[in-house]
Amino acid sequence: MPQPKRNPASQPKTGSAAEKQKQLQAFTIESGTSLTTNQGLQVPDNHNSLKAGVRGPTLLEDFILREKITHFDHERIPERAVHARGSAAHGYFKLYKPLEQYTRAGFLQNPEVETPVFVRFSTVAGSAGSADTVRDVRGFAVKFYTDEGNYDLVGNNIPVFFIQDAIKFPDLVHALKPEPHHGMPQAASAHDTFWDFVSLMPESTHMLMWAMSDRAIPRSYRMMEGFGVHTFRLINARGDAHFVKFHWKPKLGVHSLAWDEAQKIAGKDADFHRRDLWEAIDSGNFPEWELGVQVIAEGKEDKLGFDILDPTKLIPESVVPVQLIGKMVLNRNPDSFFAETEQVAFHPGHLVPGIDFSNDPLLQGRLFSYTDTQISRLGGANFHELPINKAVCPMHNFQRDGMHRQSVNKGRVAYEPNTLGNGTEFRVDGGSQGFQSHPEVLESPTIRRRSPSFDDHFSHATLFWNSQSPTEKDHIVAAFRFELSKVEVPDIRQRMVDNLAHVDAKLAARVAAPLGIQAPDAKAAAGRLGFRDYKIAQTVEEDAALSMARPAPDIKTRKVAILVADGVDLFTFKRIQQDLLDAGAVCKVIAPQLGTVNTSSGKQLAVDHTFANMPSVMFDAVLLPGGVNSASALAQLGDAVHFVLEAYKHCKTVCALNEGVQLLSTLGFALESQGNQVMEPTAGVLMADARKAAEGQISQALMAAMARHRHWDRVNVDAVPA
């Protein structure tokens, strides 16, 4: 297979100072030395408009002013109705082994080829100016630039969706968005109209379980899964069809934020996820995901016990394992946020030969909606000619003109068949070439009705609940309580917990307890419009893959805060810091002020951040070095004490060395006759005498604790004043 045209995305970026200098020089040379108008006319003065006298009125004839202002006035395009807040990166995809037994898609045949990709992550509900860490679904869209055309895998970080049919999508989004009479709340689902809608749509229950779980507040884009959501088809060269579900598995593991932490980050750094992705790529810590597929031969899908065309259902991995087929690496940040991240146009209908749709009614509606949306946002039907959307393979057809046309087509022929050209332009010969829709026998009659096989609204929600760890279940209950406590109409709260009774009676009772409503009634939802008490036989009761309670494979890119003040003992943490850096972690020194601090040995230690500009919510772990004067000063500094208490409350690893344990005194911990051992008096709190512990012992214990991500089993965190 010929190798696709290379895209800069496949070229790794070193991130070194020398490389950055080269890029800056290249930019300077490319940009030129003279300021010009858009027509190339040199501009001698970019600071003053043309006036009738130095204090006179500005003249209309100032075409330079008018061009600049006019361009500015039209720089904004309509933001996406959903997924408006996004971040993106370039990279490449590389296959592990050929998949010719399933598909004839070219980019899934040759493991030697690196297929360029552009990936956009996003939140769903909020505007472009909303915060990154709100409770929400995250978009996960990948554009593959293949030599057979662009293929878009447009999904989310949750494998199911709220609704079964696209005709309900406008209603869902209208209910989810800020309420129209006062425009509140922004980027939040905790309000009446959303819960009014979903409580009347029992099919949304499974998705609500995911949205109220920790999946909706990921630690970073680099640590969340992605899913194609819908069922697609793979078609091989013989025309054999297999149904397929697509999965993206992050190499760093799947991890979340604490809810209190997520809310605080939204205020401290609304760009938290965007900054995390950018800085990771900029520093050479390229994010990686493995692409996995769940494949089912056509004709065998009925054995699953549910309808795979229903987008509110998933295929348990314990029933159909995920086959990992390739790896995606993001290694280059965009050069222009607007030109690339904002103007990229994804579409589930951008296919390549060997991949086809299913009859999922939500997917079918998306096939119309995405094109319609891009025409509105990007000014016409030629959005495919924008550089970020342009295919790397040759493009030939008779489409012409339209707004923002960039191609200059030669000749007089803009139709076929014709005799004025050679009469055979752009033909595809042979049944095996080009895209072939999978032949499918369709049933009749034409009907506007939901399939009875879609009527099971709760069994997969129960499967998800049963698969969660006790801590994850606690978080789901807390999320439902928080969201429903914001609902002003008691009947809506009641209706929602009555729905939850069909998922699990104990779940519903726990959610209802503090909401000032009646105990949930398992029969209360039956008989309402839109509800059908139809339950297909459940194939499994739990699935381990649905839980996030798994340790990280390593601590790469995890951020460690080292708290210091004048008098810090370098000896107690230098070796540990180096071990963390060697393991791929990021260490930052936090002090009361910027510049340097004096160490106990008289040396100077550079400071990265202060307690005021870099709070604990930005870090994954905290290290408290020794040093009598340093520890004493920090123990008397409220910001430092709060830093440690907050990290403890959010169940992060905290490691105290020697006198550094003074900062833990308010939590009741003290350094007592522990000899050469690393003590762990409670989950994820480590204390040690660095002068007695064996070489590397503290580092190993600290890294092992960090790999557990969070210590959710930590007791009495609600009593911590942070």
46 is catalytic: no
Residues 6+ apart with CB under 8 A from 377: 77, 78, 79, 80, 345, 383
* Both tokens assigned to 282: 């900029």
CA distance 516 to 91: 51
Residues 6+ apart with CB under 8 A from 127: 79, 84, 85, 186, 187
C-alpha dist (Å) from residue 355 to 236, 349, 358, 416, 434: 9, 10, 10, 27, 12
238: left (phi over 0), alpha (psi -120 to 50) or beta: alpha
Q: Of 176, 218, 205, which Cα lies nearest the Cα of 193?
A: 176
Active-site annotation holder among 7, 150, 156, 157 = 156
598 is catalytic: no
- Which secondary structure element, helix H or strand E, spans residue 122, and what is its range? strand 114-123
**What amino acid is encoded at 622 in this protein?**
V
Residues 6+ apart with CB under 8 A from 529: 200
CA distance 30 to 11: 20
Taking a C-beta distance cutoff of 8 angstroms, is the pair 583, 557 a contact? no
**Residue 646, φ and ψ in degrees, nearest 5:** -70, -40
CA distance 260 to 501: 27
Active-site annotation holder among 83, 247, 347, 457 = 83
> DSSP string spanning 578-630?
HHHHHTT-EEEEEESSSEEEEBTTS-EEEE-EETTTS-GGG-SEEEE---HHH
Instruction: Count CA atoms closer than 13 A to 274's CA, side-chain side.
Output: 17
Beta strands 586-591 and 559-563: pairing type? parallel
Length of the chain: 722
Tell me if residue 302 falls in helix, strand or coil: helix
Around Cβ 251, how many Cβ atoms within 10 Å? 17
Cis geometry, peptide bond prior to residue 185 (ω within 30 degrees of 0): yes
Q: Of 287, 265, 291, which Cα lies nearest the Cα of 121?
A: 287
User: Could you list the active site residues?
Assistant: 83, 156
